[in-house]
Amino acid sequence: MGRNSRKVDILHAASKIVSERGIFNLTLEATAEEAGISKGGLLYHYPSKEALVKGMVDHLASNYREKIENNAKADPKDVGKWTRAYVDVTFKNTYENKDMNSGLLAAKAVNADLLNPIRDLYTEWQRDIENDGIDPVKATIIRLATDGIWLAELFDIYHIGEEKKEIIYARLKEWIDEQKPE
Partner DNA sequence: GAAAGAGTACCGTCTGGATGGTATAGTAAT
Partner DNA sequence: ATTACTATACCATCCAGACGGTACTCTTTC
Inter-axis angle of helices 81-96 and 162-178, to 10 degrees?
A: 170
Taking the C-alpha atoms of residue 38 and residue 18, their distance in angstroms, rounded to an integer, is 19
Query: In whole angstroms, how far apart are CA 68 and each of 13, 15, 41, 148?
Result: 25, 22, 34, 18
Count of helix runs (H) and strand runs (E) in the chain:
9, 0
Question: Pattern 53-82, binding to its own copies, x per CB under 8 A?
Answer: ------------------------------
- Which option in its own copies, DNA, none does residue 50 bind, with CB closer than 5 to 8 A by kind? DNA
Distance CA 121, CA 18 (A): 23
Q: Is 167 in the site for its own copies (CB under 8 A)?
A: yes
Among 7, 51, 112, 181, binds its own copies (CB under 8 A): 112
How many residues contact its own copies, by CB under 8 A?
39
**12 lies in the binding site for DNA (CB under 7 A):** no
- Contact status: 115 vs its own copies (CB under 8 A): yes
Burial of 170 (0-12, 13-18, 19+ CB in 10 A): exposed
Query: Is 146 a residue that touches its own copies (CB under 8 A)?
Result: yes
Residues near its own copies (CB under 8 A) are: 22-24, 104-105, 108-112, 115, 118-119, 122-123, 126, 137-138, 140-141, 143-149, 151-152, 155-158, 160, 164, 167-168, 171-172
